Amino acid sequence: MSIPAAVSPRIAGRHPRPPWVGFSWKAGAAPTAIALLAGIAFWEIVGRVAGFLFFPPFSDVVARLFEMIGNGEILPPLAGSLRNLAIGFGIAVVVGITVGLLMGAYKRVETALDIYVYALLTAPSLVFAPIMFSIFGLGPEPIIGVIIIYTVFIIIINTSSAVQTVPRPLIEMGRSYCASDWQIFRRIILPSALPMIMAGLRLAGARAVEGMVNGELFIAAVGLGAVISRAGARFDATTVLAVLLLTLCIAFAVVRVIMFIDRRTTSWLPETQRGTR
């Protein structure tokens, strides 16, 4: 006598479908949208009701941002800031991943550099701004240097930890098949460490935007930092918050691009390990 599938789905060859199967990151967009709309409504209400001089309503800030985009006031500073961000973050990614891989793979390299990496990570990054200015002078170079300082040590630590957490049995299995060091690195270590490396890049991407604005504010009055500085000098809170809103959008876009690359490069992982990014 056959057993009905409704009574015993596993025996009948059908596995019960857990409620979370088929859930994707898009399914989590509703709570995010609700939370975002609630924050915007709170900002608008407080700005309208309280009437704080330095806290204009959200609608006024957005209107000011579109006005600056429409008249071209924000576009040249934005282009300069994005150029510095791309160069600085690109250099930080190359240097950070290279040094992190070396520290993770070779104990002597880790022992030699570990104290410097953690010391510079815990130090306030903005204190290096005067040093960058004294070395490079006015121009984009010190701002790029600040962006690198803000991001490179996070990438180094995450990359080093990612390499060190690769399961040893996988490496020993590769050696048992007479794989060379390069083959073990390319086929085992790098794919296994990639998800954690990408997590470090996501953290560093947001920090890079912060370093860009801080560098422009404290080193040279250029880019978006110059717009914030001039608006703050004349107590124009609407313009300051408009540029801040634009900066947040840039940081969000950078993180989303990294997440897109992450999903592409780690698509081979099981869904339970990739999560719903």
CATH number at residue 257: 1.10.3720.10
Residue 223 has a pLDDT of 80
Q: How does pLDDT run across 103-144, given as a tens digit for each residue?
A: 988 889 889 998 899 888 888 877 787 788 777 777 788 889
Q: Is the pLDDT of residue 224 over 60?
A: yes
Helix or strand holding residue 7 (H, E)? none
* Per-range mean pLDDT, top range of 25-39, 114-128, 199-213: 199-213
Number of Cβ atoms within 10 Å of the Cβ of 31: 9
Per the domain annotation, does 88 fall within a domain? Answer: yes
Q: How many domains does the chain have?
A: 1
Q: What is the mean pLDDT of residues 47-61?
A: 82
Supply the DSSP string of 57-117, one letter for each residue: -HHHHHHHHHHHHHTTSSHHHHHHHHHHHHHHHHHHHHHHHHHHHHHHH-HHHHHHHHHHH
Per-residue pLDDT band for 99 (boundaries 50, 70, 90) equals: very high
Q: Report residue 270's pLDDT band, with 50, 70 and 90 as the boundaries.
A: low
Boundaries of domain holding 160: 38-268
Q: Provide the percentage of residues in the chain whose pLDDT is more than 90.
A: 21
Does 5 fall in a domain?
no
By mean pLDDT, which of 8-22, 39-53, 100-114, 210-224 is the weakest?
8-22
- The CA distance from 155 to 208, in Å, is 11
Whether 9 is in a domain gets the answer no
Segment 208-232 mean pLDDT: 83
